[in-house]
Amino acid sequence: MLKKVLIANRGEIARRVIRACRALGLQTVAVYSEADCYALHVEEADEAYLIGPPPPRESYLCSDKIIEIALKSECQAVHPGYGFLSENADFSQAVEEAKLVFVGPQAESIRLLGDKVAARRLAQSLGVPTVPGTLEKISDLSEALRTAQQIGYPVLIKAAAGGGGKGMRVVQNAEELPSLLERAISEAQSAFGDPAVFIEKFIPQAKHIEVQILADGHGNVVHLHERECSVQRRHQKLIEESPAPLLSEVERTRLCEAAVKLARAARYRSAGTVEFLYDFDAKRFYFLEVNTRVQVEHPVTEMRTGIDIVQEQLHIAAGERLSFAQTDVRPRGHAIELRICAEDPLNNFYPSLGQIVELQLPQGEGIRMDHALRRGEWVTPYYDPLIAKLIVWCEDRPHAMTRALTALDDLFILGVRTTGGFHYRALQNEIFRSGAYFTDFIERERERLFSSVAEPKISALSLAAILREVHGLSMENREQKMSFAVTVDGRMSEYALKLSNPLVIVRRAGEEFPARLSAKPGSKLYSLSLGEELLKLAMKREGDHWVVLWRGQELAIKVERAVAKRYRALLRSTTASLEPTVQEVASHMPGLILKVSVGEGQRVEPGESLFVLEAMKMENEIKSSVKGVIEKLCVKSRDQVEKGQLLCTIRAEE
């Protein structure tokens, strides 16, 4: 009998496991790093123990410490969540050897299926098609070059020991392979403690479809149908939905049967996911890999089937049989999951760090938020940028998309940039709505997905910033009639206001219309009324401008009294041509310098790599934006840097 479970993870998945344990009457034990001492999962668990400093290698990846705490706190089981140690066969084995139950597959299953190369061999032996590629791990550069030449470019380098887009690089030609192979190996070692990689053919126009399975220790294996996960950046999923649109029932059946066949052959136990690439034109599936853990996107399947996958994991770990048969699984409706990541989509999804100064989460029928957020929380560079998941369900796909858009209208995370605005645009995109989208969706639709906010909305949001500025003025500094100059993205506009409580009459471009800004008490959330239109937004002051958040996208809006408008414009026009001759390159976030790619005196071109910075479990390239010569290097490899720290200077060419 299980009575107490240690959760070897953090964030929203730790909270998710806590909820499942509570529903089954189980006590929970949390572990936490120094960066997470005030985290929600620590607060919600029955017991919590400090495990080490913020870096995962010194805390959440310390398997010996985790097992020691589990024994000390008299737990019977360890749930690894996803990521970290969840697919580590040695950890699974060590847990079992300590007379504890690992809530997941047995070590031999993880070794067989968690090792992508071994899983490919198993799939081939069962007659399940695999993407052309190696059946052995790549040992050196010469072998990689030879293999890529045989397969034919483009190829995909993949980490053998894990997933989530870590240790994965697309290689277009032989010239790119040496540096990208080095990066993939480094990232695989950092993320999974195993540098092994393999190579397979890259299929750009394909759908990424996966099947959720559950298997007990008594020979029962069921599938919970499929999910589509084709909307990705850096080979990491952003949107998942179930069922996969445009698949025929025959194709769904073939896909699910192949997943069950693989699980049976591997004598699998617990929750798992079998992933496939689907060549939509050829109507052909290719096996990709098996994720031997509960996945980030498991709520999509839960919303559609009504089955609590984490509770089933705990039942299976306790030695129980599955409580239902395949014929009992009756999915209904349509579910969509949107991953809310602390990233700036308009800056190539670059990680965004900072403090959450305002937070509002959507709620209501058919809406679920999995998160570990609260106002005042800090998003740090140590962990994955995924900070929340918005999951919606409705009776069909069109209504599910409408419900998701409505929920995004009510989602406000102010303080860090997020993928919320990207999701709003993606759900309105015609290609996505048709269902005929592929893994290259973001690249194909880049212009539409990342275009700026439409001009009418910029005007409305600018007006919100003006009204907030007026509200901040003391009564003696207010006039009945006031003029303001507003600058957004380098463009200046002028607005004339006539104060008339509680409304403000606004004049712009010869038109007059009433406006009112209402604040939610004790928050940075506002409602802007413009005639019959109502906009919900959030605002905060940052330096000399207002940051306005609307539908997940931020705008920096500078508001000034308009008396000196012409002089300011003249000043800008006369100084705009005076480009600096020396460019300072600073770090956008805290992190670890993994590689310095240049030396003092070296000539660089725009787009050339200068540094590789590790942050949020990903490697980020810092590139030159100018043509010139490296004048001074300020850091070296393995240096820990802070946000804003100077990395180098470049003397730009005239």
Active site residues: 289
User: Under a CB-based contact definition with an 8 Å cutoff, are residues 50 and 38 in contact?
Assistant: no
Instruction: Please tell me the distance from the alpha carbon of residue 444 to that of residue 596, in angstroms, as a whole number.
Output: 32
Question: Which distant-in-sequence residues (6+ apart) come within 8 Å of 576 by Cβ?
Answer: none
Helix axis angle, 141-151 relative to 177-192, nearest 10°?
Answer: 110
The CA–CA distances, whole Å, from 515 to 407, 473, 507, 545 equal 25, 18, 10, 21
Q: Which of helix, strand or coil describes residue 433?
A: helix
State the Cα angle at 448 between 445 and 454, rounded to 5°.
170
Residue 574 burial (CB count, 10 A): 9
User: Under a CB-based contact definition with an 8 Å cutoff, are residues 561 and 483 in contact?
Assistant: yes
Tokens of 13: 């998945």
Rg (CA), the chain: 27
Instruction: Please tell me the distance from the alpha carbon of residue 339 to that of residue 438, in angstroms, as a whole number.
Output: 18
Instruction: Please tell me the distance from the alpha carbon of residue 127 to that of residue 193, in angstroms, as a whole number.
Output: 32
13-18: long-range pairs with CB below 8 Å, 24+? 13/81, 13/82, 13/83, 13/294, 13/296, 14/41, 14/45, 14/81, 14/372, 15/40, 15/41, 15/44, 15/370, 15/371, 15/372, 16/81, 16/310, 16/370, 17/79, 17/81, 17/310, 18/44, 18/45
The continuous run of DSSP H or E covering 33 comes out as strand 27-33
State the Cα angle at 194 between 190 and 197, rounded to 5°.
100
Q: Which of helix, strand or coil describes residue 542?
A: strand
User: Under a CB-based contact definition with an 8 Å cutoff, are residues 583 and 558 in contact?
Assistant: no
Question: Which distant-in-sequence residues (6+ apart) come within 8 Å of 294 by Cβ?
Answer: 13, 81, 82, 86, 271, 309, 310, 313
The continuous run of DSSP H or E covering 107 comes out as helix 107-109
Instruction: Please tell me the distance from the alpha carbon of residue 191 to that of residue 164, in angstroms, as a whole number.
Output: 10
Chain center to CA of 519: 30
User: Under a CB-based contact definition with an 8 Å cutoff, are residues 353 and 331 in contact?
Assistant: no
Instruction: Please tell me the distance from the alpha carbon of residue 272 to that of residue 347, in angstroms, as a whole number.
Output: 34
User: Under a CB-based contact definition with an 8 Å cutoff, are residues 36 and 13 in contact?
Assistant: no
Dihedral sign (CA 244, 248, 253, 254): negative
The CA–CA distances, whole Å, from 275 to 40, 159, 226, 437, 456 equal 32, 15, 9, 17, 43
User: Under a CB-based contact definition with an 8 Å cutoff, are residues 59 and 43 in contact?
Assistant: no
